[in-house]
Chains A and B, each alone.
Chain A
Amino acid sequence: MQVSKEEILHIANLAQLELKDEEIEKYMENLQEILDFANIVNNAPVDGLDVTIGANEAKNVFRKDEVKLFKDIDSLLQNAPEQTNHMFKIPKVLD
């Protein structure tokens, strides 16, 4: 499959990335090369095989739904670039 510039821009947008012109060129080339290699999965003898989503048998793991308080709010929020009154601060989203 041929990767186009439009596709790279579309994908970057989905991934919330802004690419510079030289990055677009580079990633187009890289993605093409990697996908050409990755295409061999399409020649693998997998007819009738189920998909595997995890390394071990998929089973539900239950525990009691109990509220546990994490009291050290300061240490959680210290990583926020901006905060106010113990809340993450972002720019206004509605006018």
Chain B
Amino acid sequence: MDITELTVHELQEKIKNKELNIKQINEAYIKRIKEKEPEVQAFITELTEEGEKQAEEIQTRIDNGEKLGELAGIPIGIKDIICTKGVKTTCASKMLENFVAPYDATVMKKINAENMIDLGKLNMDEFAMGGSTEYSYFKKTKNPWDLSRVPGGSSGGSAAAVAANMVPWALGTDTGGSIRQPASFCGVVGLKPTYGLVSRYGVVAFASSLDQVGVFTKDVQDCAMLLNVIAGHDEMDSTSVDVGNKDYTQALQKDIKGLKIGVPKEFYGEGINQEVKASLETAISKYKEMGAEVEEFSLDIAKHALATYYIIACAEASSNLGRYDGIRYTYRSAEAKTLKEIYKKSRSEAFGAEVKRRIILGTYVLSSGYYDAYYKKAQQVRTLVMNKFNKAFEKYDVIVTPTSPTVAFKLGSKSNNPMEMYLSDICTVSVNIAGLPGISIPCGVDSEGMPIGMQIIGNKFCEETIIKTAYAYEQETKFREKYKPIFKK
């Protein structure tokens, strides 16, 4: 048995039956990281030595009869945008290369309260701006299915680490698709919860009205389990919503008879790869066989939502990234002599090209003369997108689309063309614009063996419905038993 192939609920089963202990599990993962990290490059900071010590401590406590939770000693990987006390949080930027957060993010506190073991901080696009993880200042993460391809982004390190079995699950963030698209590219499950379900306190801000923390897992059951850990109201985040405590594993039911699935035809048209489309059509037929009521409808918002997304996200980013002034956050230009030079030179030297591009765009759309034409218009379009989703959810329980128009693309193929990179978010951004929950699960592979993702979108705070929809399909089709990453060179 290869321990690292197992899901977390399978690990728990084996711990309960005394087939495995915490030490063995962590040793197996640490060994796997040592083996696979040189080719996958998913980690910015490895915490394997610390992890080994923690595993021993937890094992001793268990051996001494202490009652710890069911997730005690389970390893996890954390996107390097989530603050971890005493451990670097770089956001994959030269600006924060040496930044050590003075406190834990709320989600990290929750992970630590379960006694889970953080095996490392995972790579991403700088400040979460990108769709391929190629904009990381430190390294380019490779897709475990084909090392010449990107893992997607911005949470590419999280997706690749889970796909490569270097961690059993991981946390990421999603502002315009940054969990769902890499999950789709790497053949794993990725969930972006409803805006406000998970606290953003201690998560470095990119676009505050869109950012949300979510999970990467090997299967839907693990997804529900990890969501149980991180969800919940937090007074440290005024946008966090109190919906009471739910047990999302209750949603793991196979019976979806009568479930109303809306299929928006515009998400299957122009720009969508034919193999992706065919795979989704097969999945939709499967849902029909399983007793769901499927209906095609019109949701003509994708392009408007994408334009709106780039206006709003960049505007918010230009404001959020104003705090990097060369005074408080580790990097200061050696050239700077005056205060003004500290601001300008530090920012110019330490931000990467994509970050500067988005700051410039964001500053432009907020500047006098353009505010009404772009920013205000975009906020109105945001209302339009929300209204259209509201109308759709009067009729349907879930909406099913491709997660991304294509499978994972080759490294370097889009990194010099911002507009082309932005278009790879076309299926995911509208979900963030409307603040809805969305999950991506693998639904097939293309002719070159690359995984294809299906996105299931739910109404606000209806995570149970999308989890159930995803779970039923997964149990029926068993993607993980049929396909595995092969680390193609």
Docked complex: B294-353 residues within 8 A CB-CB of A: 303-304, 306-308, 310-311, 318, 322, 325-332, 336-339, 342-345, 347-348, 351, 353
Chain A hits for B377, CB < 8 A: 41-42, 44, 46
B418 touches A34 (CB 8 A): yes
B327 touches A90 (CB 8 A): yes
Is residue B472 contacting chain A, with contact meaning CB distance below 8 A? no
Q: Mark A1-35, 1 if CB is under 8 A from B, else 0.
A: 10100011011101111110001001100110111
Selecting from B36-44, B219-227, B247-255, B358-366, the interface stretch reads B358-366
Q: How far is the CA of A53 from the CA of B220 in the complex (A)?
A: 32
Is residue A67 contacting chain B, with contact meaning CB distance below 8 A? no
Is residue B374 contacting chain A, with contact meaning CB distance below 8 A? yes
Selecting from B14-22, B382-390, B479-487, the interface stretch reads B382-390
Number of residues from B at the complex interface, CB < 8 A: 74
B328 touches A54 (CB 8 A): no
Chain A hits for B1, CB < 8 A: none
**Chain B: minimal CB distance from A41 (Å):** 4
Chain A hits for B402, CB < 8 A: none
- Among A7, A42, A75, A93, the residue within 8 A (CB) of B100 is A75
Is residue B376 contacting chain A, with contact meaning CB distance below 8 A? yes
A34 touches B304 (CB 8 A): no
Q: How far is the CA of A64 from the CA of B344 in the complex (A)?
A: 38
Q: How far is the CA of A9 from the CA of B369 in the complex (A)?
A: 16
A90 touches B339 (CB 8 A): yes
- Among B241, B304, B373, the residue within 8 A (CB) of A44 is B304
Interface hub of A35, A44, A78 (most chain B Cβ within 10 A): A44
- Among A3, A37, A82, the residue within 8 A (CB) of B332 is A82
Chain A hits for B373, CB < 8 A: 1, 42
Interface hub of A41, A75, A88 (most chain B Cβ within 10 A): A41
Q: How far is the CA of A56 from the CA of B436 in the complex (A)?
A: 10
Is residue B196 contacting chain A, with contact meaning CB distance below 8 A? yes
Is residue B210 contacting chain A, with contact meaning CB distance below 8 A? yes
Is residue B392 contacting chain A, with contact meaning CB distance below 8 A? no
Interface majority SS (helix, strand, loop, mixed), chain A: loop
Q: Mark B95-135, 1 if CB is under 8 A from A, else 0.
A: 00011101100000000000000000000000000000000
CB-CB under 8 A for A50 and B380, given A17-B344, A17-B359, A41-B374: yes
Q: How far is the CA of A86 from the CA of B190 in the complex (A)?
A: 43
Q: How far is the CA of A37 from the CA of B387 in the complex (A)?
A: 23
Interface hub of A26, A79, A91 (most chain B Cβ within 10 A): A79
Q: Mark B76-109, 1 if CB is under 8 A from A, else 0.
A: 0000000001100000000000111011000000
Chain B hits for A80, CB < 8 A: 327-328, 330
Chain B hits for A78, CB < 8 A: 100, 102
**Chain A: minimal CB distance from B424 (Å):** 14
A45 touches B384 (CB 8 A): yes
Chain B hits for A69, CB < 8 A: none
CB-CB under 8 A for A53 and B102, given A34-B419, A90-B339: no
Chain B hits for A23, CB < 8 A: 353, 356
B347 touches A17 (CB 8 A): yes
Q: How far is the CA of A90 from the CA of B418 in the complex (A)?
A: 36
**Chain B: minimal CB distance from A43 (Å):** 8
Chain A hits for B308, CB < 8 A: 41
Chain B hits for A30, CB < 8 A: 357, 418-419
B196 touches A52 (CB 8 A): no
Q: How far is the CA of A75 from the CA of B87 in the complex (A)?
A: 11
B383 touches A12 (CB 8 A): no
Q: How far is the CA of A26 from the CA of B311 in the complex (A)?
A: 19
Q: How far is the CA of A38 from the CA of B307 in the complex (A)?
A: 5
Q: How far is the CA of A35 from the CA of B86 in the complex (A)?
A: 41
Q: How far is the CA of A58 from the CA of B325 in the complex (A)?
A: 30
B339 touches A91 (CB 8 A): yes
A54 touches B239 (CB 8 A): yes
A55 touches B434 (CB 8 A): yes
A79 touches B330 (CB 8 A): yes
Is residue B473 contacting chain A, with contact meaning CB distance below 8 A? no
A91 touches B235 (CB 8 A): no
B360 touches A11 (CB 8 A): yes
Q: Could you name 15 residue pairs across A and B whose Cβ atoms are closer than 8 Å?
A: A11-B367, A14-B363, A15-B318, A16-B347, A30-B418, A34-B310, A38-B374, A38-B378, A39-B307, A44-B380, A46-B381, A49-B383, A70-B103, A75-B85, A81-B327
Known: A3-B364, A41-B381. 9 other contacts (CB 8 A): A12-B360, A18-B345, A27-B357, A34-B418, A35-B374, A44-B304, A52-B386, A54-B209, A81-B332
For the complex of A and B, 5 pairs with smallest distance between CB atoms: A55-B435, A81-B332, A51-B379, A55-B195, A46-B380
